[in-house]
Amino acid sequence: MTTPTAPLDATVTKVLDRDRADSDDEDELLAELEREDSALDGFRERRLQQLHDEFARAAAHRSGGGGTYLNVEDEKAVMDITTNNKNSVVHFFHSDFRRCKILDTHLELLAPKHPECRFVRIEVEKAPFLVERLGVRVLPCLMSFIDGKQVARIEGFERLGNSDSFRTVRLEELLVDAGVLERVRFAEDGGLLGDEEARRREEVQDEDSGDDWD
C-alpha cells in the first residue's frame, strides 16, 4: 500500500509556479524560498525538503522529454509517447489553419511549466490511422491521454470561449480537469499578455480558420 503524497506547502507552490518554475538551478529556487520563508518555524525544513523533492521530480520528467512541445512526424511516435508516459497531450493540427497556430502558442507556454506531461503535435495528413481511429473531425483537436487511454478532448475553441484571444490559463484549467496536468500554474489572467501577445499574434497569419477539417 502506497503512502499518499502530502500536499505541497503554499509557500513552496508559490516559488515553484513563478516564471522561473522551469529553472534548472535548484540553488536559485532554494534561495527564493529562503527569501519567501525567512521565519525559523517548525515547517521550514519541511518546505525545503518539499522544494528539493519537487525539483528532483521535475528534473526526472524533463530527462524523459517532459517540459517540451515536440513536433512528431509519424503515428508510431505518437503511440509510443502516449503509451510510455503517464500523462500526455496530443495536438492534431493542419499547418494552414490559423487556430491551430494560435493553439500552438499556448502549448509552447504551457509545456515548460508542466514537465509532468508530454506535449506533442502531429499534422493530420501524417496520421490517417489515428485520425480515423480517434474520430478527429474538427481542428484544432487536442487530446489528453493517461497511461495511453484517451480521457478528454478539446475540439475547436468552443470550450475556450470560442474566441481567438483566450488566455493560456483557461486551456490549463481544462487540462487540469482532464487529469493530465497537476495544478494551475498561471495566474488567472495569465498567458499571452502585452507585447508578447502582440508579437505572437503578428506571427499568426490571417489564413482561413475553418474549424471543419473532415
pLDDT single digits (tens) 53-65? 666 666 666 767 7
- For residue 144, the SS3 value is strand
Q: How far is CA 130 from the centre of its chain?
A: 21
Are residues 119 and 44 located together in one domain of the fold? no
Q: Are residues 34 and 75 in the same domain?
A: no
Domain count, the chain: 2
How much is the pLDDT for 17?
62
Pair 154, 199 in one domain: yes
Same domain? For 126 and 195 the reply is: yes
pLDDT over 70 (residue 162): yes
Q: What is the mean pLDDT of the chain?
A: 79
Which of the two residues, 23 and 98, has the higher pLDDT score? 98
More confident residue, 17 or 1: 17
Last residue of a domain, one of 37, 63, 89: 63
Residues with Cβ < 8 Å from 142, sequence gap 6 or more? 89, 90, 91, 92, 103, 107, 153, 154, 155
Residue 77's pLDDT band, with cuts at 50, 70 and 90, is: very high
CB 127 within 8 A of CB 140: no
Report yes or no on 4 lying in a domain: no
Residues 77, 29 share a domain: no
CATH code of the domain covering residue 143: 3.40.30.10
Residue 53 belongs to domain spanning: 10-63
Q: Are residues 191 and 90 in the same domain?
A: yes
Distance CA 32, CA 166 (A): 31
- Amino acid 205: pLDDT: 44
- Verify that 100 and 117 share a domain, yes or no: yes
